[in-house]
Structure 1
Amino acid sequence: MTIERDATAAGSGQSATETFQKKARENAGQADPARVSAVAKDALAALHDVIRRHQVTYAEYDALKSWLIRVGQDGEWPLFLDVFVEHVVEDVANADRKGAKGSIEGPYYVPGAPEFTGEGTLPMRDSEAGTPFLFQGTVTGLDGTPIEDAVVDFWQADDAGYYSQFAPGLPEWNLRGVCRTAADGTFKIHTIKPAPYMIPHDGACGALIEAAGWHPWRPAHLHLKVSAPGRQLITSQLYFSGGDYVADDVAQAVKPDLVLHPTPVVSGQGEQVTYDFALDPA
């Protein structure tokens, strides 16, 4: 039987690539040639400056070409861009928001997860490892008015650092769910507390990380997309105070406002945290 420990960078990368390509087809639009020209020229000029500044040799140039080819062969362009580039795009895209803070989406989002309203438990295996965890809060407008039927689209890795639909042996919707807020804008999501994990590192991205002497770890985190009619969707990741790699996330996506401070549950086992989302108007 194939199990999640059999996951490879190539397998995960191919799944991430297929998911991204489907998303790109659904959101395809005509590019503005002037924007393409301006961004491409500046990007190439920046690369040319790096080559001149570091006196890049032909041997290093050939190594770069070989590595870029391998990124494509391993299906790791979504991983590379999401880990090393997306955090800057997200900063620019959300710079004017007054409400909830955003973070990167990453390569492992899948739409269409099972839905529940108000309070529910994410789909998980009967023997799901990890500390029981209650994530709860309220979705409001900027003025604090609760929003009924707002969508809290939630996904996370399991206790071993694997995502359903991107690693073998996991149920299709494991630790993925969509919670619609109750009449008072509240939501309660029962899950498990995730652990830190290494990004896939047996492929091209891992080769870069090893060559540069970096580490491949991401801190434990929860993923969310929160939206409501007439409001801007916010995509975010939430981390855990005191957790490993919060201070040196390989994806550079941690922000102070996104760090959670869980407490023990009032009765029973596990931890809980309350985190609210104020949505900007569309």
Structure 2
Amino acid sequence: MSVETTATAAASGANATERFRSDKSAAAEVSTERVNALASRVVKALVDTVMEEKVSYDEYNALKSWLIKVGEDGEWPLFLDVWIEHAVEEVANADREGSKGTIEGPYYVPGSPVLETPATLPMRDDEPGRPLLFQGRVTGVNGEPLAGASVEIWHADDLGFYSQFAPDVPEWNLRGTVIADSEGVYQVNTVQPAPYQIPTDGACGQLIASAGWHAWRPAHLHLKVSAPGYQLITTQLYFTADEHLSDDIASAVKPELVLEPKDKADGTGREVSYDFVLASAA
């Protein structure tokens, strides 16, 4: 068995928490009025649930114990990104023109290696998985090609693990920032990821088991696509025939984001095309 399969929820959670603290915790300040409005709604929703469901002290104490464990396991980024972020993304991009976005998830790492197209993502010599050529074009909503657009891509390996969040995986494995050519065309050689379960040996897994849910996410590519003067789009792309497209635990799948790869004519793997359309930042 590969050593990387010893990755634990606590270790992944700690990494995700540390990444959040270093990259995003210095967010814009929120006004007292807005905090009051949002916090009051959340507390009222919890109180209403207690009253309507007649929550017992045993259930209340089980909740407190679980909330403490979420923090101890460092799984707040995982919990929020799996069960809450999809709604925040829908609100944030409700009026966006162009390509559809979806959640970023907890395993993004900025600063991946910059590669000119056609590019091959950093990977091990014996990287498991079926080779995949992912290609397309980046344009604006009026069809103008976006020369030099940035196509940042990261995804899990064939065992469901992300570099920098599992042991014994090279630092930038299957992560890269690909620069499109003068016509906005990009090509990325990688491997097709597999479906995977979110970590289940920590607090989030405890919730999943107690509620009788499943922990699966469909296979997907993560992307951030940008160009000067245009809005950055954060999205994920999925694959047809995946059994978890309709019941993704993160509720992040949208019909417009499902790919249908084809076998390459030379038999060296699969290929798929997807064009990104960016909205103007003006």
Fold shared per TM-score above 0.5: yes
Which residue of the partner structure matches residue 147 of structure 1?
Answer: 146
Deviations 1:250-281 (A, max 9, x none): 11110000100111112232111100000011
What's the counterpart of residue 44 of structure 2?
Answer: 45
- Residue in 2 aligned with 1:251? 250
In structure 2, the residue matched to 1:118 is: 117
- How far, CA to CA, are the matches of 1:153 and 1:56 in structure 2? 46
Structure 1 distance, partners of 2:271, 2:86, is 27
Aligned positions, number: 281
> Which secondary structure does the structure 1 equivalent of 2:24 belong to?
helix
Q: Which residue pairs with 2:136 in the alignment?
A: 137
Q: Determine if the alignment matches structure 1 residue 109 to structure 2 residue 146.
A: no
Q: Give the aligned CA root-mean-square deviation in angstroms.
A: 1.2
| CA distance in structure 2 between the aligned counterparts of 1:120 and 1:103, rounded to whole angstroms | 24
Task: Provide the residue aligned with 1:172 in structure 2.
Answer: 171
Q: 1: CA distance between counterparts of 2:128 and 2:243?
A: 19
SS at match of 1:174: coil
1:17 aligns with 2:17: yes
Provide the TM-score with structure 1 as the length reference. Answer: 0.98
TM-score, with length taken from structure 2 = 0.98
Deviation (angstroms), 1:24? 2.3
CA contact 1:196–1:244 (8 Å) conserved in 2:
no
SS at match of 2:157: coil
Gaps of 5+ in 2: none
Superimposed CA distance per residue, residues 107-152 of structure 1 (whole angstroms, 9 cap, x where no aligned partner): 0000111111221100000000000001101000000111011110
Cα distance between partner residues in 1 of 2:51 and 2:105: 32
1:80-229 correspondence to structure 2 within 5 Å: 80-229=79-228
Alignment of 1:265-276 (within 5 A): 265-276=264-275
- Tell me if structure 2 keeps the 8 A contact 1:71–1:77: yes
Q: Counterpart of 2:222 in 1: which secondary structure? A: strand
- AA aligned to 1:24 is K
What is the distance in 1 between the residues matched to 2:236 and 2:52? 36
CA distance in 1, matches of 2:24, 2:194: 30
1:16-50 deviation per Cα after TM superposition (whole angstroms, max 9, x unaligned) = 0000111124x433221111111111111111111
CA contact (8 A) 1:156 1:194 kept: yes
Q: Which amino acid aligns with 1:91?
A: E
Shift of 1:3: 2.4
How far does residue 90 in structure 1 lie from its aligned partner after superposition? 0.5
Q: Distance in 2 between matches of 1:154 and 1:33?
A: 37
> How far apart, CA to CA, are the structure 2 residues paired with 1:58 and 1:23?
38
Query: In 2, distance between residues paired with 1:61 and 1:53?
Result: 14
Residue type at the aligned position of 2:160: G
Partner AA of 2:243 in structure 1: D
